[in-house]
Structure 1
């Protein structure tokens, strides 16, 4: 896997800086707006996760699900993406994005793009995700849409 991937930008991955609106109370950031999303990407659920410093989550990919991540702090993350879609113009491309407190971003990851992230800061990091599919389907009665890659020997290389 490591030799087949080259650095670049991945087709259909959307990375957008998030603006923080500051005032005397703190800050506010819009995470998503229905008038800025394609109907097929509209979230159907949302969750937040906490990742400890030095810990990585993933890598995995989805067959049908699109992930809508927001990295806003209070830590920083190194996000790893690689395109395993054989019909994609960016097949074989590996992309790394720095996101979080120092660079708040929204990240759309389409099906077939393997993704992982690592907390590279010194404190617990929070990640918001609003995917366009329900985890394990309606009533959690369907198979989970994930292809896991944590055990692949190349995963450590790709998560340098």
Structure 2
């Protein structure tokens, strides 16, 4: 273990977050999502499981290290309910509260039709599947930047 890193984050997940750059997307999904199939088409190329976590808990752990993009209108996307694009399921509100708390501000979230979500997920850097049973627990997080001082200004 390392200091300050949520124990739910495996070394593989930390490695993925470190490899991602500004604007890269990370999919966090429930167990019903066709994650293994779609993950094969992502940059990382394979599915990563975050067993024992629901989606908001996994997201909170991830966002403890990863900033969301501030250069886009909505750095988080979610899947729409099939047949009722305006419907709300409990995980939507729980995720909104989680991302708002992590960023300490209201964070816009956009909704995508199911197949549009799958298409966007295929272009993601990686997919992390949680143990959440859903339904509609499918989210895409766009990585932002961290403003750090130049290395020459840092003290040991």
- TM-score bracket, shorter-length normalisation: under 0.3
Q: Does 1 or 2 have the higher relative contact order (CA < 8 Å, sep 6+)?
A: 2
TM-score, normalized by length of structure 1? 0.26
> Which has a greater percent of helix?
2
Q: State the TM-score, normalized to the length of structure 2.
A: 0.26
